Amino acid sequence: MKNFLISSIFFTGLLISNLSTAHVVFTDQLALAGSYYKGTLRVGHGCGDESTTAITVKIPAGFEGAKPQPKFGWKLSTKKELLVKPYNSHGKTITEDVVEIRWEATSKDFYLPNEQFDEFSFFTHLPNQPGPVWVNIKQECVKGVNNWADVPTSGTSTKGIKNPAALLELLPSSELHNH
Ligand SMILES: [Cu+2]
């Protein structure tokens, strides 16, 4: 019943259907296209009962200058690639950009047990084009891996999808101004 109520809430014309799931999801699933955004991924459980040992986020094309937030006890690494379309930031032409961010527990003491949740954040400039964006996340555990990479064939409901990618809805700037 609670899930039903939560998934029935409409906001600025968009159906927010994924707030009630555990999985790996953005804590803020609505953002303004073309804005700076702090993306916080909430890891709601492990792989089955197994503790989480690493989280790897694929930064989608058009997300500019992604910066991870350091996390105590977790080793941070990023992967950069040459851009097909260089862009301008603070008067400089950017030709390569972060395409992957990874947090890896430095020891057993920092593993994230299935009975607990945690959050992993990055900061980025979002694309100007409104619409849904799916972000792929790899969750590694002591045993096993969850690849959060499945997307629905149409729409944005992840109901019935076993390992959905994390959804972020980019809103046109006009839609948020009356809030
Ligand atoms: Cu889940």
24 Cβ contact list (under 8 Å, min separation 6): 41, 42, 43, 44, 55, 137, 139, 146, 148, 166
Ligand 1: centre distance to CA 61 (Å): 25
How much is the pLDDT for 176? 54
How far, rounded to the nearest angstrom, does the alpha carbon of residue 159 sit from its chain's CA centroid? 18
Ligand 1: centre distance to CA 89 (Å): 37
Q: 34-84: per-residue pLDDT in tens?
A: 999 999 999 999 999 999 999 999 999 999 999 999 999 999 999 999 999
Give pTM, 2 decimals.
Answer: 0.86
Ligand 1: centre distance to CA 159 (Å): 11
Buried b (16+ CB within 10 A) or exposed e, 78-115: beeeeeeeeeeeeeeeeeebbbbbbbbbeeeebbbebe
Ligand 1: centre distance to CA 163 (Å): 7
Ligand 1: centre distance to CA 82 (Å): 34
The CATH H-level superfamily of 21-176 is Uncharacterised protein YcnI-like PF07987, DUF1775 (2.60.40.2230)
Ligand 1: centre distance to CA 172 (Å): 29
Ligand 1: centre distance to CA 65 (Å): 29
Q: 88-146: per-residue pLDDT in tens?
A: 999 999 999 999 999 999 999 999 999 999 999 999 999 999 999 999 999 999 999 99
Which residue ranges make up each domain of the chain? 21-176
Q: CA distances (Å), 89 to each of 33, 68, 96, 115, in order?
A: 17, 18, 12, 42
Ligand 1: centre distance to CA 179 (Å): 31
Closest CA to 25 of 12, 6, 10: 6
Q: 23-45: per-residue pLDDT in tens?
A: 999 999 999 999 999 999 999 99
Average pLDDT, the chain: 89
